[in-house]
Structures are given as C-alpha cells and as structure tokens.
A and B are shown apart, each in its own frame.
Chain A
Amino acid sequence: MNETLTLDAAAPIEAEGKITVLSVRQLMWMRFKRNRLAVIGAVMLTMFYLMALFAGFLAPYDPRTTHAEHPAAPPQLPRIVDQEGNFHWPPFVYATASKVDQKTFRRSYQPIGDTRYPLRFFAAAEPYRLFGLIPTDIHLFHVDEPAKVFLMGTDRNGRDMFSRVVYGAQVSLTVGLLGVTVSLIIGTLLGIVSGFLGGLFDNVTQRFIDILIVFPLIPLWLALATTIPPTWNSVQRFFAISLVLSLVTWGALARQVRGSVLALRETDYVQAARYANAGVWHIITRHLLPNTMSHVLVIATLAIPAMILGETALSFLGLGIQPPMTSWGLLLNEAQQTRVLLQQPWLLLPAVFVIVAIIAFNFIGDGIRDAADPFSK
C-alpha cells in the first residue's frame, strides 16, 4: 500500500526528469489517501449525503403517507425467484394482506395470489420536489398497486420506514454540520479575540470555557433543549436544536484557536505586520485565521459525530426534532418500548444508519487529523 503510493508520488518526478514541488494541500491529500479507513469513511459519507440529497428520488413513497392496510409490516425484500423456483428479472414482489391472530393479537402478513408485481425502475409515482425545487414524480423504483414495496417494513401507522430513513438523513446529517458551523463561528471569533486582546476579557472567557469543556454534554443539552418554546414549528425547532448542539461545543474550538493565536501573536511576520501599521482586523483575517484553520477543521470534524449522537439522543427522548419533520433519532423514538421492539424489531434499523454515519465521521476525522500536519513524521 505504502510502496505503491510512494511510487505514484515519485512518478511525475521521473517522467519529467525534473523536480516537482508539491503544495501543502497536495501533501495533505496524499496523506489522507494513505489512511485506508479514512477513505472508506469518505466514500460512505458521500453515499449518505447523496442519499439525503436525492431523498425524494430514492424513496418509493412519501414519508408521511400512511398505508392503512399495512401497519407494522415486516421488511419485504424484492425477490427474483418465485414460489415454483423460476428465475425472473426485474425483481418482483407479491401483494400481501395482513391477518390478526385472534388469540395472540399479533399481526402477520401473507402473500395473496401468485401474481408477480415487478419493480418498475424510474417509474412515475407520488409527486415530490427534487432538492425541494424541481417538481417531478420519477422514483428510482416502485411497484403497481395493490402490491407495496417496504424495504425496511412500516411503522404502526403504516408509513414506509425506508422512505422515512432516507428523508430522515436530510435532518440527521445536516443538523451536525449546521451545529459545527455555528460553533466554528463562535469558537473562532471568541478564540481569536480573547487570544489577541488578552486581559480581563480573556480571563473571564477562559474560566467560562473551563466549565463548559468538562461539563457532561447530555445533561447540558437536555437543559438547553427544554428552553425551546413548544409553540415553535418543526423548522424553527430544527435550527434551535443545531444551535443547542453548538452552544455546548464551541469551547474546545475557542480554546484551540486562542492557543494558536497566542503563539502566532509573537511570530515575526505578525510583528512585522504590526510595525507596518496593519489594522487589527487585517492581522486577524490575513495572518491569524488562515494559520489556525487546519487545527480548527480537525476539531470541527471530530465534533460532528458527537453532534449527530446528540441530535439522535434528544429526538429519541422527544426533545429534539418534531413531526412532520423526521430524523433518525425521531424514528428510534418509536422503538423505545421493549414490547413494541420485540414485535417490530425492524424499527431499530435506523440505528444502523446512525452508527455507520458516526463511524464514518470518526474515520474521516482521524484521517484529517493525520493529514492536517503533512510535515510530521
């Protein structure tokens, strides 16, 4: 692995017979690529974000549509072999109907008839707006009524879990990014100002950050989430939640930025800029900010998984995202009761998405941390 990459890097040098200069950015990219886990994480996340972006296209149904005839239906994967053992393409499903056992009151689904309903790809079905803008009704796959395709089953109201997970990605994957952006802004601003100005302001800010950094996240998030007025609609709530997530996590960023600003303040080029009569704003934006950015980005990336977990936890408790919006945490909220879980274990499937997203972000964070300083070892 390492060898081939070194060869790759050396290739242009040999081919052109002269020395190539690699920019810092190229060096970082090389190092990032060398970390196999980080690359896997990046690929997984790209897929997740594409899924969120094209949610309307990927989801066969609207996440709010209730299929009254199919409550609590188990996942049904399209099949390619029918009951007689014959092979068919494209994959197909059977229409199903539910039956409630009179003794146990448990619902079970059985195929009715042996009519095959093939999956229709790029089929017209329920209308939606792609990217929230372009009205269209083309879905990646769909089946004709009365058959249904529930890749991940339905909830007790008969809503398609797969569609809900796909739409939930839009909220779950952006709430962390939004939160990190806000905490990036607060953290960088306070860090630079408090490092550059020093004095009483610095002192008070640092004591506050002292507490903030070590305070356990969940209790603080809970306390802040209860302050969101219950009358707010789900979009306002979404922004409020990302604000809550960021208000707790900017401390570490501010600390890091302040540290580098303190060190940078004494460097020759900042001193030179001062003697050249450069304004404070000029020094901050031209000299301090660019030099602290790589550290800041590392911390920011590593903060995203915690934020996704935070949103999941808050929504799981019913304090986070509210319907009609949906998020992975909110989907898990329905899986909270043990009795429900045992009869509908597929309600836990959104958890798989949460876990994969968090692991992917952790992989990438690790890769970026190693890549951020391309001159080490």
Chain B
Amino acid sequence: MIKYIVTRTIAMIPTFLLLTVFGFLLIELPPGDYVTSYIRAQAAQGNTSAADQEASMRAQYGLDQPIVVRYGLWLSRFVRGDFGDSFEFRRPATEIIGSRLGVTLTISICAFLISWGIGIPLGIYSATHQYSRTDNFLTTVTFVGLGIPDFLLGLLLLVTVWMLTGEVLTGMNSSAYASAPWSVGKVLDFLKHLWIPVTAVVITGTAWIMRVMRGNLLDQLGRPYVTALRARGLPERVVIYKHAVRNALHPLVMSLGQTLAWLISGFTIISLVLDLPTVQSIYLRAMLQQDVYLGGTILILIGVLILIGTLLADILLAWLDPRIRLY
C-alpha cells in the first residue's frame, strides 16, 4: 500500500510541471498585458499621463523580460511559495485568495454534503425501483435539474425572494453587517444569504449524483454475481447494500478527486450573479483584468487540488477495493 502511494506521488511531478507550463501560457496568451489594460482603464477615466509610465511600469512588474525568463522566474518563486502580488490590489495573491476562502468553502462544503447526502440514497432507491412511478418522476427531475444552468436557478431564487419579501439577498451579508464583527445577528444574516447559492448548487449537484448512482447500480444489479448472491438466499438488503452499492460507488469515489478542486472552482457564475465574495468571482475578475499572478495562482491552485484529489481518490479506491493495489 505504501509503495503504491509513493509511486503515485512521484508520478505526479511531471504532470505538475506540465500544469504550470499550461497555466502560464494561458495567462500569457491574451493580447496585451496588465499594463495595457491599466492604461486603457486610466485613459477611459481621462488620465492620459498614465501612458508615459508604460515602460517604467513594465520594468517594475518585470513584464519586459522574454517569456521563457518570466516563466522561469515565476516557477522558481512559485515553488518557494511566493505566488506574486496582485497588480490590482497590490497585495500578495495568497492573501486575497485566503481572505475569500472561508466563504467559498462554507458554500461549497454545505452544497457538497447536502447533494451527496440526498443524491446517493435517491439514486439507490431509483435503481432498485426501476421504472416505478417514483423512479420515472425522479428521472424526469434529474433531467430538468441537469438542464437548468445553476446560475439561472440562483437568479430565479433571488427574484422569487425579492418578490415575496422585498429583500435583495445578494452578497453574503446585508450592508448593516458588512463590516461589523461576527455576532449572533451577523451569523443569522449570513445564513439567510447562504441558502440561495447552496440551494442552486445542490439542485444541479444532486441531479448529477442521482443519475450516476442510478446508472452504476443498475449496471451492477445486472451482473452475474448479484444473481449468484440472490440464488444463495442472501437477504435483498445485504445483496444491495453490502455488495452492489459498494461496487457501484467506484465511479463516484473517482469523481471525489475532482470534487476537491470543485470546492473552489464550482459555481463560478453564481458567484458573479449573486455577487458573492468567493475565490471564483475574484478569479473571473483577475482573468478579465489580466491580473496575471492572481489569476494564474488560482488556476494552478485548482490544478494542484485536482492532482491531490486524484491521488486521494486513488488511495481511497485502493482501500475500498484491494484488487486495484495490484496494478
């Protein structure tokens, strides 16, 4: 088992390097750089003198170096844990990401737990009662759930609440509590805002998990080993929960690998629509402004989380199914 983990970890290093090249290129690809968009923004406000600072600003941010040199510098600092400063906020990228991590994780972990908690049991029920009325109903609901983009759901919920109560629940706190220290009132206010993004994400998430779980379990229930178990007179409960469900969970466990990255990259557009102070909304902003280090750090962070997530999922799977350790 330990050997398995070590080999897997070492195999991650080239993938990581590939990821950084990929991430860096993505950041570099847009025409122009931060200075260009900064000057454009200044000129739009009537400040034409900004154009004179162009060369000195480039030198200050190191943007006048050739691309390979910039990649080398960036990577060497990256490995040492220095992720660069955000041009726009003039603060370290990590600090900005860190300040938004709390809200992001609160929403995503809530949504994750609820959608898995609901999705798996419903998927099992659907598969064990195939083509029953409940199953047909659930299948229709999942198709609709998968068809509606989550940001539209968020928007609909927002408008519905506004029509019913006259409150606009954008952001995570009402203006009264925005800069106030944490108190019982602020927590309640926070919860009042929290449920809208969570519900929107849960609906699409649950639909997906139900669908996968139902498909996998149906697949397993058709296998000969299930017939063999039934033939030996095992109670249906044991056949399903101890054997079939355990095998049907495999693909979902594999997808857990992606879930880790999803925690900070899912519901990007909801974040924007509902004006949530999350990592996703700052990522979108950084991408639009060509705030290279901030956007790049988040992109790489997502990639690293994917690598770690995949590793964890592999280990979990090896623990769940000893056959895999042989590979």
Contact = CB atoms under 8 A, between A and B. Distances in A.
B162 A338 contact: yes
Interface in B281-302: 283-284, 287-288, 290, 295, 298-299, 302
Contacts of B273: 336
A230 B302 CA distance: 27
B147 A342 contact: no
Instruction: Report the interface size class on chain A.
Output: 35 or more
A342 B159 CA distance: 7
Interface SS majority for chain B = helix
Contact of A338 (B170, B222, B298, B306): B170
B22 A211 contact: yes
Contacts of A348: 152, 155-156
Contacts, number: 113
Interface in A311-342: 312-313, 316-317, 319, 332, 335-336, 338, 341-342
A208 B17 CA distance: 11
Contacts of A363: 143
A355 B147 contact: yes
A93 to B, nearest CB: 28
A221 B303 CA distance: 14
Nearest to A361: B147
A309 interface: yes
Nearest to A219: B265
Contacts of A222: 268, 283-284, 287
B43 interface: no
B99 interface: no
A359 B144 contact: yes
B257 interface: yes
B27 to A, nearest CB: 8
Interface in A227-275: 227, 229-230
B266 interface: yes
B15 A313 contact: no
Contacts of A362: 143, 146-147
A58 B152 CA distance: 27
B222 A377 contact: yes
A227 B29 contact: yes
Interface string B153-195: 0011011001100001010000000000000000000000000
27 contacts: A208-B18, A208-B22, A214-B258, A216-B261, A216-B266, A216-B302, A218-B269, A219-B298, A226-B30, A227-B30, A227-B31, A313-B151, A316-B151, A317-B269, A317-B284, A338-B159, A341-B155, A341-B159, A342-B159, A342-B162, A348-B155, A348-B156, A351-B148, A354-B152, A359-B144, A359-B147, A362-B143
